Structure 1
Amino acid sequence: MIRNLLCMTAPVREGVDIPCHELGPAGAHPAVALVAGLHGDEINGIFILSRLADFLGAVEGRCYPTLRLARRVLIIPAVNVLGVNQRTRTWPFDKTDINRMFPGSTIGETTQRIAYAVLEATKRAEFRIDIHTAGIDFEDLPQVRLYEPSQEEREAAHWFGLPAILERSLSPVFTTTLKHSWKVWPGRSFLLRVGQGGTVQLEHCQRVFRALVEFLGKAGVLEGVQLSNEDEETCYFDRTCCHGVYATKAGTFVSDRPVGRWVAAGQEMGYIYDSFNGNIVERVVAPVSGLLTGMRRHPLLFEGDLLLQVNRKM
């Protein structure tokens, strides 16, 4: 069933609605809540959750006789609906970041009311998943991000079967995010990072779609899932494992290295060229041996910009 999570009026146009999907048996609270599109340029997550809603709707319609949706699932594919339509990261009207407005308020600014409605709909779920991408300049390997997790969250993070689980410190700038607001409620919360903003990267999206189906199977929400027997390694990296490489000079960065590959310390990862005369001004190498989990994709850069991230095994 599709319903509107929130309906808002607008000054000189028709109202703005934020739709969501409620699937599975009726219940007081969803077993799993999935959210994407808090930022309007994070198209991968929106595409993944819209496809997941279609798939679970087909399961309910008995298009897959071996599958049964045993528990309720709530899916909000796109929170920042105006940002998506106008291809902007923030809420277009006042340029605020919805993911810096939590826990929100019923009497605050528009984005605070949106944040409040999203939190109220999702906070009591047993499992909560927030999907993001990197910015438009950077590509992240599909990964699970944990911030000061419980042991139960560390264990359940492996249910996705994604190649990397990254545990990170909780920065003060994250205290007004949806993920942080979930922490005070019982249950397990996860943040998935998928690819690059502003585009749909089909291979990444297909991988995460399969990961979500696998997760729903292992959580007992979707019965009949044939769980993967593939031997792809899931690596757990704590905050000491991440090594970033930053540009020491401005210029044009060029690299053909795909994320998700294991690299050796000192391995060539790309070059920074002088943007006008074409000379190589810096050779970029891997700082340690490990998994390449992120890579800059926009070629133009300033000194100090992040070029790549490598996570070494613990």
Structure 2
Amino acid sequence: MRELELFTVDTPYRRPLPVRGWAFGAPEKKSLAVVGALRGNEIQQMYVCSLLIQSLAELEREGLLAPDAGILVVPCANQFSMNVGRRFWAADNTDINRMFPGYEEGETTQRIAGRLFSALQGFRWGIHLTSFYLPGDHLPHIRIMDTGYERAEEGLAFGLPYVVVRQPQPYDTTTLNYNWQIWETRTFSLYTTETECIDPDDARRAVQAVLRFLHAGGLSLRDVPPSGVTPEVFQECGLHNILSGAGGLLLRSREPGDVVKSGQILADILDPCTGEVLEHLRSDCTGRVFFARKSQLIDGHEVAFRILPEV
């Protein structure tokens, strides 16, 4: 295991912050890079990386990494925002994951993205442990951008229940996932159920998924037990978004993984002052809850749930 200082970030009123990576295996090889928190509230994503570093260190000590394996793990590239409890860059509220491939002469987040992206160039595979743009809970899954360079079937090796293929929108073209693929790294975004809170069981499942992928890719000599699920591949556009019709307090009665029927109540939206029920939020199809909003304040016409319909 080798600890590397990839680059430093200048921050106002304090010392420059180093962005560190932990490297395993052959120094000259670039097999897999794993990136954790790009946002200041991605605590679970950073924690998953810390557990992965421990597991990879054990594999290396025991001589169970393949001779041509070269792995880099970057737990966090946004310590400044994490230190002050902000999701986005604290100075100007910009999102590093909307700044790729970066620009060295640009704003701070563009420079961070550019320096990180430079350190990630040339890897065969890339995994980004990330979070959804809406605050909420997902079923664990792998997400892949449909760029023409992707190989969705490789996502099955993680053993998670779902592999979601996303048709990129214009705003996706500045994300790490999209740009990494365009620069010929086969990239996967791994979504866990939590973001701001540590869920140890959820984190261990994510680490096992990465280790399963390493073994399937020939980078690890240690077999990992199968997850016991048969992954399902589907297009993200097939998810049904359940939108709020009113603003207020969201009290959900269904959780990710729950099977619901068309017309079934998913949540109530209450008047925040009187407690009056403004809306019974109902499913528009029969299927499984894939995403449920966590924030209990909601405006009108916002995504509260995403349902994976029965085929």
- The structure 1 segments of at least 4 consecutive aligned residues displaced by more than 6 Å after TM superposition are none
Change (3 A) 1:313 1:106: same
1:56 paired residue number: 56
In 2, the alpha carbon distance for the partners of 1:191 and 1:11 equals: 31
SS at match of 2:206: helix
- Is 1:98 the counterpart of 2:99 in the alignment? no
- Is 1:265 the counterpart of 2:266 in the alignment? no
RMSD: 2.1
**Which is worse superposed, 76-85 or 262-271?**
262-271
Give CA deviations for 1:66-94 in whole Å, capped at 9, x if unaligned: x4354111111101111111111122233
**Which is worse superposed, 280-289 or 194-203?**
194-203
**Deviation at residue 292 of structure 1 after TM alignment:** 1.3
**Deviation at residue 197 of structure 1 after TM alignment:** 3.4
Give CA deviations for 1:100-153 in whole Å, capped at 9, x if unaligned: 221113333332221112112223111111111235732222111122154862
Unpaired runs of 5+ residues, structure 1, are none
In 2, the alpha carbon distance for the partners of 1:234 and 1:262 equals: 17
Q: Does the 8 A contact of 2:249 with 2:296 survive in 1?
A: yes
**Deviation at residue 295 of structure 1 after TM alignment:** 0.2
**Deviation at residue 313 of structure 1 after TM alignment:** 4.3
TM-score relative to the length of structure 2: 0.91
Unpaired runs of 5+ residues, structure 2, are none
Give CA deviations for 1:133-184 in whole Å, capped at 9, x if unaligned: 2357322221111221548621101111111222222110111111121122
In 2, the alpha carbon distance for the partners of 1:224 and 1:150 equals: 32
Q: Does the 8 A contact of 1:69 with 1:221 survive in 2?
A: yes
For residue 296 of structure 1, the aligned residue among 293, 296, 306 is 293
For residue 140 of structure 1, the aligned residue among 138, 141, 162 is 138
> Which letter does structure 2 place at the counterpart of 1:303?
G
2:176 paired residue number: 178
Change (3 A) 1:238 1:313: farther
> Which letter does structure 2 place at the counterpart of 1:85?
N
In 2, the alpha carbon distance for the partners of 1:109 and 1:76 equals: 22
Change (3 A) 1:75 1:15: same
**Which is worse superposed, 114-123 or 263-272?**
263-272
In 1, the alpha carbon distance for the partners of 2:95 and 2:227 equals: 40
Change (3 A) 1:137 1:105: closer
Give CA deviations for 1:254-302 in whole Å, capped at 9, x if unaligned: 1242212333222332222222222322222222122211001122211
Give CA deviations for 1:173-201 in whole Å, capped at 9, x if unaligned: 11111112112222311112223432223
1:88 paired residue number: 86
For residue 126 of structure 2, the aligned residue among 125, 128, 143 is 128
User: Alignment identity in percent?
Assistant: 26
- Is 1:169 the counterpart of 2:167 in the alignment? yes
2:216 paired residue number: 218
Q: Does the 8 A contact of 1:266 with 1:285 survive in 2?
A: yes
Change (3 A) 1:96 1:48: same
TM-score relative to the length of structure 1: 0.91
Q: Does the 8 A contact of 1:33 with 1:128 survive in 2?
A: yes
Query: How many residue pairs are counted as aligned between the two chains?
Result: 309
SS at match of 2:212: helix
> Which letter does structure 1 place at the counterpart of 2:282?
V
Give CA deviations for 1:213-272 in whole Å, capped at 9, x if unaligned: 111111111112233162x13222214421010111122111242212333222332222
1:75 paired residue number: 73
